[in-house]
Structure 1
Amino acid sequence: MLCFYRPKQSMASPAFSCFLLLTSIFALAESGSVGLNWGRVANDLPSPAKVVELLKSQGITLVKLYDTYDGALTALADSGISVVVALPNEQLSSAAAGQSFTDSWVQSSISKYYPSTKIVAVAVGNEVFAAPNNISNFLVPAMNNVYASLVKYNLSDISVSSPIALSSLQTSYPTSSGSFKSDLVEPVIKPMLAFLRKTGSYLMVNVYPFFAYSANSDQISLDYALMKQNPGVVDSGNGLKYSSLFDAQVDAVYAAMSAIQYNDVKLVVTETGWPSKGDSNEAGAGVENAAAYNGNLVKRVLTGKGTPLRPNNTVDVYLFALFNENQKPGPTSERNYGLFYPDEKKVYSIPLTLEQIANGADNVSKAQVATAPAPAPAEQTGQTGQTWCVANGKTGAEKLQAALDYACGQGGADCRPIQQGSACYDPNTLEAHASYAFNSYYQKNARGTGTCYFGGAAYVVTQPPKYGECDFPTGY
C-alpha cells in the first residue's frame, strides 16, 4: 500500500498520515483482532505488573490466560485489556457435577475481579478431546453450569466456550471435506455447538500450521505455511484457492461445522504461533520463520480479510505466546513460542497494531537472525514427513502411568506387543512401554495435532525410536 502526504499542506508526519489512511480504509470493513496468550510455565518471568505494562506498551488490548491467576487478574484491573480466563481440565468433573461448584468458582474467580478487570470470556477446559484421560463427557455439562452461574450473578455478558485442537477433525484435507470425528459428533460436538448458538458465543479453535508443516515438510510448501507469496492450493472439492495453510485449516473447521448444520457459529482462533527455535529435526523452527508467520498473520487479520469459505467473516486470533516458557516439557520448540524473552526483550520484531504496520515494524533485526540457529536441511535431519510419539521421561512416573493406562484403555492403542511375553515387552521399563503405547495412539489417530501430548507426558520426534529389538509402528 502506498501512503502519500503533502508537507506544505499538513503538519502531520508521514507515518501518522499513513496510519490515518490505513485506519480509514480498514474502517470500511470490520477487521479482526489480535491478542496474546499469557502462559506461565516458567520460573523466570517478570511480575504481573510488569507484564501488563509490557502489553500496554505494545498496544495489546486482548489477552488470554490458562487459569484465573490472582496476580494476573489483579494487575489487569483498570488496564483496558480484555481478558479470557480458563477453568482448567482438572476441574471439569467438579464443574459438571453441580452448579454449587461453579457458583463458588464464579464468585471467587470472576466476580471478585469484575468489572475492574475486563473479563470477556471463560474457556472451559483446553483441548479436552486430546486430553490423556476421558473427560469429554464432562465438557458440555460444565459449560452449562458455568454459564448458569454467570447468569445467576448478573455476568451473562461473559461468553463461555472451550478451545478444541484440530485433532478433533476426522478429515481436514481437502478443506471442503472437513469433518469432526464421528465418535465425538453426537455426544459432544453437537451439544457444544448448540450451547454456543443458544448463548451467542463462539467456538474456540487452536490452529498450528507449524505442526502440519514440520511433520510433512516434503509435501507442504514453506511459503504456503508462512503466508508468503506462493502459487496457492486449489481445493478439489469446491474449487476455492488457498494461499495459506492457516486459512485452509480454519476453513476445514468451518466445513466440519457446516456438515452438521452449525455454519452460523462464529470461530475464534485462541492459539496459533510458530517457534523461534527448535531441535535439529523440527523442520521450519527458527526466528525468521516465526517472524514471517506471526507478522504476516497479524497483517492478514488486521485487514479485515475473511477466509475463502467465509469471506465475510473476519478472524480474531490469540498468538501463542507472550513469553518463552523454560519449564515446558517436550522438544525445544515448546519452550520457544514467545514473542518476548523473560527479560521483556523482543525475540523478533513484528507489527501488532495498525500503527505499528504503518511504522514498518515488521522486520527481524539482523542481529537477532545472526544469533539464531538455522534449521538443518531436511536431508541432514532424515526428515521424510513421518513422525513418531514418545514418552517424556521427565514428566514423572505417576503421570506417565496414568497416560499409559489411558492410551491402552479408553484411547484404544494396540498395547498387546508390550504385554509380558510379547515381542515388545523388553525393555520392561515404564518409559519404553509408554512410548510404544503413545505412538500406537498417535499413529492410529493419523498423527493429528494434539494426539501426542497426554498432558505433557509425550512429544513428537522425527527419527524412528527403537527400544530393544522392537520397531515402532509407522501408521495404521
Structure 2
Amino acid sequence: MGALPLCSLLVLLSAVTFPAAESGSVGVNYGRVANNLPPATKVVDLLKSQGITHVKLYDADPSVLRALSNTGIRVVVTLPNEQLSSAAFRPSFALSWIQHNVAAFHPSTLIYAIAVGNEVFVDPRNLTSFLLPAMRNLRASLSRLSLDSNIKLSSPIALTALESSYPPSSASFRPDLAEPVIRPMLDLLRQTQSFLMVNAYPFFAYEANSAVISQDYALFRPNTGIVDAGSGLKYYSLFDAQIDAVYAAMSALKFDDIPVVVSETGWPSKGDAKEIGAGFANAAAYNGNLVRRVLTGNAGTPLRPKADIDVFLFALFNENLKPGPTSERNYGLFYPNEEKVYDIELSLNVGGGGLRWNEERGRGSTGANGGSAGLSTRTTGEKWCVANAAAGKERLQAALDYACGPAGGADCKEIQPGAACYEPNTVEAHATFAFNSYYQKKGRADGSCYFAGAAYVVSEPPKMGKCSLPAGA
C-alpha cells in the first residue's frame, strides 16, 4: 500500500468524497409500443417521483408533450423514420412539423433536442439518403422560428455504423457512410454546436461473444481489464470501449470536438434461452452501475477521461407489443403498473440519502436467464465491500488512504508489508480489504460501501489469495 504526500491526498480526497461540479445526466427513453401503459399524466408523475429530469420520445405525441408542460423535465422529440423523406424533399413539411410539434409546446415543455430519425442506416427501407436533407431543412425551420439557439438536432446511430470497433483505437466508420453521410453530418453538428447521438448496447456484444467477453467487463464490475494494443489504454468496461470506438472513428475524420450523447443503452431483464446474459440481476447491475458512474461525474472514458456524458436508459417500461425476441419486450425499468422491475435509484435526490446502489438489491431467487421471481430492497445474508477497478488506481488509492486514515478508521494492519493480507500487493486488493473493514465497522450501513463510486457490495466472498475477509450477516 503506497503512501501519498498530504497535499496530494487532500486534493484526491476532494475528488473522491464529493461529486464533480459538472456531471452527466441520466434520462429514460419513453417508448409506447404497448397496449397496457398508464396515461401520460401518470407517467409524468412517475418520472417526477423518481427524480428523472430528461426523457426521450420516439415521436412528438401532443398528449405526452402537454403532460410534460411546466414540469421542468427536459425533452427530446423524434421525427420518425417514416417522415424523413417528406422532411427531406419538402421544406414546407419540415417547417410545418417544427411549428406543430415543437414551437406549439416550447418553452412550456422544455424541448431541447430533436432526434431526426432513429438508427436510419439500418432501416430496411433504405432511408440513408434522406437524412442529411431532412436535418438541414429542419435546421432551417428552427432558424426561421428563432428556435435554433435553444434546440439542437442530431440523429441516433447504431454501432453498426462502424466498420470496425475493436480495438477501440482502430475504429472507423463504414466506407459507404463515412464520406457521403457521416462527415457532412458531423460538420453540421459542429456548426450548430450539437452532439452525436449513439445507441450503445454492451448486451448485444456480450450475448454474441460470451465465451471471450467477461461478464464483469460487460457489467462494470471489477475485472482485470483489457489493454488496447494500439493506444496502450486499459479498459475496464465494454461500454467505455464502445464509446471510445465512436470517438476514435470521429477522430479519424478529424472531428475531435463533438460530444457524444448515449441516446439508448440498457440490458434486458428477461430473454429467450439463447439470449445469454439476459436476466434481472444483470440488468440491475448494468443500469445501476452505469447510473452511479454518470451521476457522480465519473463517466469519462480512457480516451476522453474528462468528458462527462449524458445517457438515456432504454427503456421506461416493458413494452408488450414490441416484435422480436423476448428481450425486446423486457428492457423496461418499470412494469406497466408502475412497479419497479428491479430496484435501482435513478437520481441523486431520490430516497433521502443520495445515490446508493448495491448490486444485490437486484438479486432475488433466480430462475432461467438469471431472472428473479421477487426482488427485495433489503439485503440479507453475508456481504462484503469490494473495490471497483473501473474507478481507476488514482481514485482507489485516495479512497484507500482515506479508509485507513484517522477519518476512516479501518483496520489496515493486515495489508502492511509482511502482514497476512499484504499479498496480492495491488491497489485493488488492498482497497478491497480496507473498504470491507470500514463497511463492517459501520455495521454495513447504507452508503458506507460507496467511496464516490470506488466501491460496491457483493454477496460472494472476494478472492484475496490466502487472505479471508470478515463478513457481516
Normalising by structure 1, we get a TM-score of 0.72
1:142 aligns with 2:137: no
Q: Which residue of 2 aligns with 1:93?
A: 85
Contact 2:25–2:295 under 8 Å retained in 1: yes
SS class of match (1:285): coil
Confirm or deny that 1:103 pairs with 2:98. no
| From 271, 288, 295, the counterpart of 1:278 | 271
- CA 1:365–1:226 in structure 2 vs 1: closer, same or farther (change >3 Å)? closer
CA RMSD of aligned residues (A): 1.8
Q: Give yes or no for the alignment of 1:373 onto 2:373.
A: no
Task: Provide Cα deviations, 1:318-354, integer angstroms capped at 9, x if missing partner.
Answer: 0000000000011100000000000000000112112
Using the TM superposition, name which of 317-326 and 148-157 deviates more: 148-157
Q: 1:417-473 CA deviation, whole Å, 9 max, x = no partner? A: xxxxxxxxxxxxxxxxxxxxxxxxxxxxxxxxxxxxxxxxxxxxxxxxxxxxxxxxx
**Amino acid in the other structure paired with 1:148:** A
Aligned partner of residue 72 in structure 1, secondary structure: helix
Structure 1 residue 289 corresponds to structure 2 residue 282 = yes
In the alignment, residue 369 of structure 1 is paired with which amino acid? G
Question: 2:45 matched to 1:53?
Answer: yes
User: Which shows bigger deviation, 93-102 or 42-51?
Assistant: 93-102
AA matched with 1:245: L
Q: C-alpha offsets along residues 242-264 of structure 1, whole Å, 9 cap, x if unaligned?
A: 00000000000000000010111
Taking the aligned partners of 1:197 and 1:360, their CA distance within structure 2 comes to 34
Shift of 1:238: 0.6
Partner of 1:77: 69
Change (3 A) 1:122 1:375: same
Match of 1:170 among 158, 163, 181: 163
Q: CA deviation at 1:94?
A: 0.6
Please say if residues 281 and 362 of structure 2, whose CA atoms lie closer than 8 Å, have aligned partners that are also in contact: no
Alignment of 1:394-405 (within 5 A): none
Residue 258 of structure 1 corresponds to which residue in structure 2? 251
Q: Deviations along 1:276-316, whole A, 9 cap, x unmatched? A: 00011100000000000000001111122211001111111
In structure 1, how many angstroms separate the alpha carbons of the residues matched to 2:296 and 2:171? 26
Moved more, 205-214 or 299-308: 299-308
For 2:44, give the aligned amino acid: V
Superposition pairs for residues 384-399 of structure 1, below 5 Å?
none
In structure 2, C-alpha distance between the alignment counterparts of 1:85 and 1:134, rounded to whole Å: 22
Q: Distance in 1 between matches of 2:260 and 2:135?
A: 17
Matches within 5 A, 1:296-375: 296-305=289-298, 306-356=300-350, 358-359=353-354, 361-363=356-358, 369-370=364-365, 373-375=368-370
Q: How many residues align?
A: 355
Counterpart in the other structure of 2:448: none
CA contact (8 A) 2:20 2:296 kept: no
How has the CA–CA distance of structure 1 residues 23 and 241 changed in structure 2, closer, same or farther, with 3 Å as cutoff?
A: closer
**Alignment partners' CA distance in 2, 1:372 and 1:334:** 19
Following the alignment from structure 1 to structure 2, what is the Cα–Cα distance between the partners of residues 22 and 73? Answer: 39
Q: Which residue of 2 aligns with 1:160?
A: 153
Any stretches of 5+ residues in structure 1 without a counterpart?
Answer: 1-20, 377-476
Q: Is the 1:247–1:307 contact (alpha carbons within 8 Å) kept by the matching residues of 2?
A: yes
CA distance in 2, matches of 1:295, 1:155: 35
State the AA in 2 paired with 1:373: A
| Alpha-carbon distance in structure 2 between the residues aligned to 1:337 and 1:88 | 21
CA 237–371 in structure 1, closer or farther in 2 if over 3 Å, else same: closer
**1:223 touches 1:229 (CA, 8 Å); kept in 2?**
yes
Q: Is the 8 A contact 1:110 1:119 kept in 2?
A: yes
Offset at residue 359 of structure 1 (A): 5.0
C-alpha distance 259-342 of structure 1, shift in aligned 2 (>3 A): same
Query: Once the 2 structures are TM-superposed, how far is the Cα of residue 370 of structure 1 from its aligned partner?
Result: 2.2
Asked if 1:195 is matched to 2:200, the reply is: no
Report 1:4-83 matches (<5 A). Answer: 25-28=18-21, 30-83=22-75
In structure 1, what is the Cα distance between the partners aligned to 2:110 and 2:141? 18
CA distance in 2 between partners of 1:221 and 1:65 (Å): 33
**Distance verdict in 2 for CA 1:112–1:226, change over 3 Å:** same
Q: Is the 8 A contact 1:349 1:361 kept in 2?
A: no
Matching residue's letter, 1:118: L
Distance in 1 separating the partners of 2:38 and 2:65: 15
Deviations 1:146-195 (A, max 9, x none): 11101111111100000000000001000100100011111100010000
- 1:367 Cα deviation after fit: 8.9
The answer as to whether partners of 2:285 and 2:362 remain within 8 angstroms in 1 is no
Structure 2 CA distance for partners of 1:364 and 1:232, relative to 1, 3 Å: closer
Q: Which runs of 4+ in 1 moved over 6 A?
A: 21-24, 364-368
Query: What is the match of residue 236 of structure 2?
Result: 243
Deviation at 1:98, TM superposition (A): 2.5
The 10-residue stretch of structure 1 (136-145 or 361-370) with the greater mean CA deviation from structure 2 = 361-370
**Per the alignment, do residues 122 and 273 of structure 1 end up closer, same or farther by CA in structure 2, a change over 3 Å counting?**
same
Q: Does the residue aligned with 2:188 lie in a helix, a strand or coil?
A: helix
Any unmatched runs of 5+ in structure 2? Answer: 1-13, 372-473
Partner of 2:212: 219
Query: How far does residue 373 in structure 1 lie from its aligned partner after superposition?
Result: 3.3
Deviation, 1:22, is 9.6
Percent identity between the aligned chains?
A: 62
| Aligned partner of residue 349 in structure 2, secondary structure | helix
Is contact 2:164–2:171 with CA below 8 Å preserved after alignment? yes
AA at the equivalent of 2:90: G
Cα distance change, pair 22–345 in 1 and its aligned pair in 2 (3 A): farther
SS in 2 for 1:36: strand
User: Which residue identity does 1:152 align to in structure 2?
Assistant: R
Q: CA 1:71–1:300 in 2, change beyond 3 Å: closer, same or farther?
A: same
Matched residue, 1:9: none
Residue 205 of structure 1: aligned partner? 198
Matched residues in 2 for 1:300 and 1:360: separation? 10
Q: Is 2:272–2:325's contact at 8 Å kept on the other side of the alignment?
A: yes
Q: TM-score scaled by structure 2?
A: 0.73
Listed one character per residue, the Cα deviations across residues 107-156 of structure 1 (whole Å, up to 9, x for unaligned) are: 11111111110000000000001110211111011001111101111111
Deviation at 1:362?
2.4
